[in-house]
Structure 1
Amino acid sequence: MFTNNMFKIQWAPINIPPRRRLQTFFIGIYVLSLFMFGLYSYLICGLVIYFGNIYLKALFITYVFWILYDKNRIHNCNRGPGVRWMRDSFFGRQIREYFPVELVKTAELHPNKNYLLACFPHGVISFGFFTNMCSDITKWNALFPKVRVHLATLGMHFNSPFWREVIRSWGMISVGRDSLLRHLKISNDPDAPVNSDGYCASAVAVIVGGSEEALDARPGNYVLTLKNRKGFIKVAMQSGAAIVPVFSFGENDLFDQIKNPPQSKVRKIQNFIKEKTGIPPLMVLGRGFFQYSFGLIPQRKRIVQVVGSPIDVPQCSDPEQEVVEKYHRIFMESLNSLFETHKRKYIENADEIKLSFK
């Protein structure tokens, strides 16, 4: 909850090392891009088509038609690995070092099968998952060689001109069912040859709680949207992929939010807008470039993403609801066990904190 302390500006020291200033600059650019790029991309296209010369208009109109033509491929069967230098970049390393972001391995992910990574919590922006699985995958490749990872996101992002090209270069895919099944059914043969880029298995990360869970993202709060989220279990069973619980400690500590209990007027307004647009209006408090008291830049807090042990599920094209329910319970128990096992390493006053599912 916002307090009166937000009006007392705490300025950053003048003698902060340049490398830390650079990290803050890059994280600020990333946050502003997320908030504004989608909107501005439509505006830029409209201005160019209206005011540009005939050649520029023709180019942009062609690009818009290409987006419409390419829409089904993106949502249903895009398998591109992304752009290598975008997934192992100076930009990604600056974001990793800003917090910093860490990746912890607790079990092997063998390259003879595919994996659905069920990730929690969403946080406000999911910096840990973005860093480890999109912009700087060097840590992932070191811990899980031959397993190519993709982060799934809302399909609406692939409809935005220009922005769609950026997130595709990071290896992001649509979270739609057809897209997930396409990626999770690839290379399930134990004797499948290694691809030309060195991978022979696929791991798809799904942030299960989504935007609903983001509404509960605040420091010290561990409320996960999971009780009624069972589609990922069904997708895993239909594809034959193992389910891997992943927990990102520190993800909820980066921003504060205005108080919005489930039945409050604020939450009702947020839910209404989310139903209409797909994205809830989060009223968050972070820091600025030169001060720590307010702004949209996340606080510099440690993020530790812990990858749990795979849960094998039976492959079935049309699983019965009772079986889905069974493995959903198993997953919830496994996620809670992962949290309880590691929380004392990464959370202050850990004995007082429990996971809560809604």
Structure 2
Amino acid sequence: MLLDHPSDEPTAIRTHIGAIFVSLELSRSNWLVTSLSPGKGEKMSKRSVAAGHVAELLALFAELKRKAEVRTGQSYPIITIQEAGLDGFWLHRVLQQEGIESHVVDPASIATPRRRRRAKTDRLDGETLLRALLAYKRGEPRVCAMVVAPSPEEEDRRRLCRERRTLIEERVTHVNRIKGLLFAQGISDYGPLRRDRRARLEALRTGDGRELPSHLKAQIGRELDRIELLLDQIKSVEAAQEALLAAARMPASEKAAPDPVTMLLALKGVGANFAAVLWSEAFYRQFANRRQVAAYAGLAATPWQSGRIRHEQGVSKAGNPRLRTTMIQLAWLWVRHQPQSALTRWFKERSPQGRKRAIVALARKLLVALWKYVTQGVILEEAVMKPAA
């Protein structure tokens, strides 16, 4: 029997929770506010607010509280929910500053109908969010996954790693474009990142012995201008990242527990960039267990089991993509720089069955081991530390 029919039994909103539940469906033009208040039965009301008008939103909340107090004679708090998306966490922080309980949910964790053509409107999405919030507050397990909002300082700290990655991707794009243009002229030995790139460009000859065409040479020159600008920006970002890591390290004179940055940099094979990514993307927050750590990086297994049918679909890829990519790269470096460690031996025992699957599994085990290392001080088995400076 379906449970979305009217019932004479008291609903959760009229029993032990006692609050006004509000879902916010955010868009660039307007915000759809769906609310469910005590004393109004099971009817959801919907109001639209201009996007970005926080004062109008707070006035609407005050009106909802006033009407609920008129109907029931009691004052109720407001509990809100919104999806993690383009708006980030600024509205979540504003609501918390106003004393409103606010939740940010991972939209991929909310169950939706599996029909072939599913109806999708802001009104239906607002109602779905509201039902998810009600179930979450009732304590239903695994009804949705709430996002842990970082502090403004933590959010700003990870900008450096992300900007560096973006700049490097842009540099690779321009380098490949130059190589492609020259390869079409029979030239395959030109290095756009070499210091003598300008002088070599003037001396280049095509495969049939001609000088480079004037327009092609001008286009490559403009590409080199962009590369040189990117190189300067990458150098500036890396200098700022080094300064941030240096400021995060605790002075040796203090006898407190070592900070995560110092502990990560003490491992052979872990450089400044890897330590910065792990610190800013993963180890800034708390995890309850190793499964949460693997799931946050999108490295958790995804089984498929129905009756006698059982197979593995691979990793979920539902977590932080930057952390997942970094851990795959670090896993390869770990095999190279830590050949005698227990994790490397585990990888080599399973690599004949498939190196790609084995390295992903190693990345998951390595991330969990590093989490235990920086939070509980558990040394990675047979790992080599860097010599003391």
**TM-score normalised by the chain length of structure 2:** 0.22
Higher Rg:
2
**TM-score normalised by the chain length of structure 1:** 0.23
